[in-house]
Structure 1
Amino acid sequence: MALRACGLIIFRRCQVPKVDNSAIEFLLLQASNGINHWTPPKGHVEPGENDLETALRETKEEAGIEAGQLTIIEGFRKELNYVAWGKPKTVIYWLAEVKDYDVEIHLSHEHQAYHWLGLAEACQLVQFEDMKTTLQEGHQFLCSTAA
């Protein structure tokens, strides 16, 4: 049976686009263990939790961002399936926008650094192709649904 994890692709909208013309920045956390990879906050589903509850709990635990500080974006849900530490794993992600551009990040012991990055920079930092694709699809979804 595959391990199941859930997380949020957290983003913020820049008031003034950056030099590279990016108006959306993604939050990536650097793991403290293994290969020190960069991902959005995520974690394993605990008994009695639904997937979205897991994603919100893990975001609070790993980045210090409360559910009330986020807006979950309807219509985007991405499921990744891969092998981690020799076992099959399923991770489900939703898009979530921070309500406060300057929200404080408080990392748990599981992470050693964080960055807010535009799409191109974020895709350079993440090491796994399926995560790059997920960020690109999330960005495309946000750009296509922007008012």
Structure 2
Amino acid sequence: MTLRACGLIVFRRLHAVGFASAPPQIQFLLLQTSYGQHHWTPPKGHVDPGEDDLQTALRETEEEAGLKSKDFNVLDGYKKEMIYKVNNKPKTVIYWLAEVKDDNTEIKLSDEHQTFRWLSVEEACKLAKYQEMQEALREAHQFISNK
């Protein structure tokens, strides 16, 4: 049996005050788990019976980060599927890309996480220790930069 989880790679664009011509800085939201090795990840979780993948991603983002679907826009054209092993069993994780509408949107963590950070792609890749996640973050950054 393949484990399946879905989530959102959440980002924001920060504009430098007084520098209208400067490109915005893209920052990704990572959450640090309060269990296990305290790894860093975007909000994600297992698919519940009767849910489709995107419903799972939206529900998990609200549960884990307090972000409701009205707080962000899911970008068309980006969907990342990763398959890797967890306890010698295959796990599929699917991510969509979502931009918060307000840079100051409040993050409200669940008990599953102990802290969060908004990070540049370089900083996010340093904290996200899994190569697949690092690649997903870099691909997402490239996708955003080309829009």
TM over 0.5: yes
Compute the displacement of 1:22 (Å).
6.8
Q: 1:127 to 1:22 in 2, by over 3 A?
A: farther
- Partners of 1:62 and 1:35 lie apart in 2 by 18
Instruction: Say which SS state the counterpart of residue 49 (structure 1) adopts.
Output: coil
- Partners of 1:22 and 1:91 lie apart in 2 by 29
| Runs of 4+ more than 3 Å apart | none
Partner residue in 2 for 1:128: 130
Deviations 1:38-74 (A, max 9, x none): 0000000001111000000000000000011110000
- Partners of 2:4 and 2:66 lie apart in 1 by 22
1:10 aligns with 2:6: no
Q: Give the counterpart letter for 1:122 in structure 2.
A: A
Structure 2 length-normalised TM: 0.93
Partner residue in 2 for 1:102: 104
- Partners of 1:64 and 1:85 lie apart in 2 by 29
Unmatched tracts of structure 2, length 5 or more: 18-22
* Contact 1:82 1:89 (C-alpha < 8 Å) held by counterparts: yes
* Contact 1:38 1:126 (C-alpha < 8 Å) held by counterparts: yes
Partner residue in 1 for 2:120: 118
- Partners of 1:123 and 1:5 lie apart in 2 by 20
* Contact 1:3 1:89 (C-alpha < 8 Å) held by counterparts: yes
User: Larger deviation: 71-80 or 86-95?
Assistant: 86-95
- Partners of 2:35 and 2:87 lie apart in 1 by 12
* Contact 2:11 2:100 (C-alpha < 8 Å) held by counterparts: yes
Percent identity (aligned): 56
- Partners of 2:76 and 2:139 lie apart in 1 by 14
Compute the displacement of 1:85 (Å).
3.0
Q: 1:88 aligns with which of 90, 94, 113?
A: 90
